[in-house]
Chains A and B, each alone.
Chain A
Amino acid sequence: MKALEIRDLKKTFRSNFLLKKYHVLKGINLSVEKGEIYGFLGPNGAGKTTTIKCVLGLLFADHGEILIDGQPAASMASRRRIGYLPENPFFYDYLSARELLFFSASLFNLAADEVRDRVAALIHQVGLSGHQDLKLRKFSKGMIQRLGLAQALIHNPDFLILDEPFSGLDPIGRKDLRTLILSLREQGKTIFFSSHILQDMEMMVDRVGIILNGSMRREGKLSELISRSTQYYEIICSHIAEKELAKIQTNFACRDGQYSLTLPSDSDINQVVESIIHNNGRIVAVNPVKMTLEDIFFNEMQPTRPATAGDSR
């Protein structure tokens, strides 16, 4: 059974005055396996947060089905399984971190004495020790983000939905959060997170879904999406005269006394390497340069080429 399954999810918004319809989600299909980290990738305005809000019942879908562990997402049982961190979270700023966590626990019917140890452990886990009694109005954005994660974990959920969890965090905070998310996967939790920061996603996710303009463009294992796509091969060499190198391969660049040659396929690699050695050059590295998530993302972002009269023929 899948942790999350979304089938043909559609959602439209209306403008306030003209009642013009905006199709925000145009039939989203995606599935999240249990125990994986799923990265939901898309530029701002693609429909990531709208999809998440439909899963959480904050928005009502016009069409489609959302299942959590096989149960309708709108059910209370499903919501009990989810821990949610909103995008740019804002919590009651008159409460302290500890009070907020106790308040969150009470919404899951957890008794105060039951959660006392858990609150203390979570405050430590997200790096807020020493700040637990500080009012939230004095918290920085990064501290709020950490607290947001703690409140999402208060009931020890199986499934975490994190909406842009890295926004507003400094490099140390991002590294801490990455470590925490990976450790949560180790504990068997399923994590679904949206982001437009490709670097973070590439470092963590098992599977990725790319959403653009309210439609899913690609979905699959990150390793498969990337390994399928070696773009070119790069040979780095040194101790060879530029004149000699130009005879072997015209497409090269020089940096810090080393030359980088680019080959479109692997068929000529042996011949080029032999020629360099023959001319007293040294091979420093031979690298297949694969597509990064960023390349895949930007390829998907390219608008499709409009059909011409010639094409139609």
Chain B
Amino acid sequence: MKMKIKAIAVNTFKESARNKMFYLLVFFGIFFALSSKLISFLTLGDAMKVLKDTGLAAINFFCIVIAIFTGINLIYKEIEKKTVFNILSKPVSRDQFIIGKFLGLALTMLTALAAMAVIFFLLVLASGGGFDLKIILYFFMLFLELLVIVAISLFFSSFTTPILSFIFTVSLYLIGHIMWTFNEFKMILRDPFWKYLTQGLYYLLPNLDKFNIKNEVVLNTALNPWTILFSVLYALAYILALLAVTILIFRKRDFQ
């Protein structure tokens, strides 16, 4: 079983890694991270703070773009091009297929993030900054966010077209970063129906702001280890739940 999941994961990674668009996006991520050095020269204030702020933002943006674009196409392309027939006609369960695809995408994201992170670290060191453990923690939290996004895009891609998957995933990404507004709405709303609905959505939709520790890294403020631990558990639970639903949908699919 493990060997089959590994084979599908490695093949998924090869698919992404042999795609020119992947290299282009990683290149742009690195390019914009490096250009933060230039921005730090042109800006007044703490140059290191500006460098970290803009560099991490660039890496974040391009990693999210890679996660969404590879994730939304993955399953749909397999079905559209009928390559899925060759896999599922063999002794491979649909569960193994989805898990393999997710792990392959996770490996792709880890590679892209590692390439950008190494360059960024070198840039920080070259700019006179020391080794900052918080930056590693930032990349770890970003990786968790990317895994949640990959799971979301995989979920949509298992039953709808890439365009709709793109719209849904981007919408959830944007909503996921303003989840605090749901709490505020809950306070304002008086009708119990809307109140409970807002509360339900708050727990149902992904709260991606839990993975955002950029302010703490840039401003070098303290991080609460319990908050970090909770975020890790939250990411794991959310990913497992999404994968379970994706598998349930995929188990019932007819491949015409």
> Contacts A53-B255, A59-B254, A79-B90 given: A86-B85 contact, CB under 8 Å?
yes
- Asked if B18 is at the interface of the complex by the 8 Å CB criterion, the answer is yes
| CB closest chain-A residue, reference B92 | A107
- Asked if B86 is at the interface of the complex by the 8 Å CB criterion, the answer is yes
Binds B, one of A32-40, A88-96, A279-287, A304-312: A88-96
The residues in A between 110 and 152 inclusive whose CB is less than 8 angstroms from any CB of B are 151
Beta-carbon contacts of A51-63 to B below 8 Å, as 1s and 0s?
A: 0010011111000
The docked-state distance in angstroms from the alpha carbon of A151 to that of B90 is 11
**B90 engages A92 (CB within 8 Å):** no
Category for how many chain A residues contact B: 20 to 34
**A79 engages B89 (CB within 8 Å):** yes
The docked-state distance in angstroms from the alpha carbon of A59 to that of B92 is 15
**A107 engages B7 (CB within 8 Å):** yes
The docked-state distance in angstroms from the alpha carbon of A59 to that of B94 is 13
> Contacts A60-B254, A92-B15, A103-B11 given: A84-B89 contact, CB under 8 Å?
yes
Q: How far is the CB of A155 from chain B (nearest CB, A)?
A: 8
**A151 engages B15 (CB within 8 Å):** no
- Asked if B4 is at the interface of the complex by the 8 Å CB criterion, the answer is yes
Q: Which residues of B contact A (CB under 8 A)?
A: 3-4, 6-8, 11, 14-15, 18-19, 81-83, 85-93, 252, 254-256
Q: Out of B8, B86, B91, B255, which one reaches A79, CB within 8 Å?
A: B91
**B91 engages A108 (CB within 8 Å):** yes
A-side contacts of B91, CB under 8 Å: 76-77, 79-80, 107-108
Q: Out of B3, B6, B83, which one reaches A92, CB within 8 Å?
A: B83
A-side contacts of B89, CB under 8 Å: 56-58, 79, 82, 84, 86
A-side contacts of B85, CB under 8 Å: 53, 56, 58, 84, 86
B-side contacts of A82, CB under 8 Å: 89
Given A77-B91, A89-B86, A92-B15, 10 extra CB contacts under 8 A: A56-B88, A57-B89, A59-B256, A84-B85, A84-B89, A84-B90, A91-B83, A92-B11, A104-B86, A109-B3
- Asked if A106 is at the interface of the complex by the 8 Å CB criterion, the answer is yes
A-side contacts of B255, CB under 8 Å: 53, 58-59
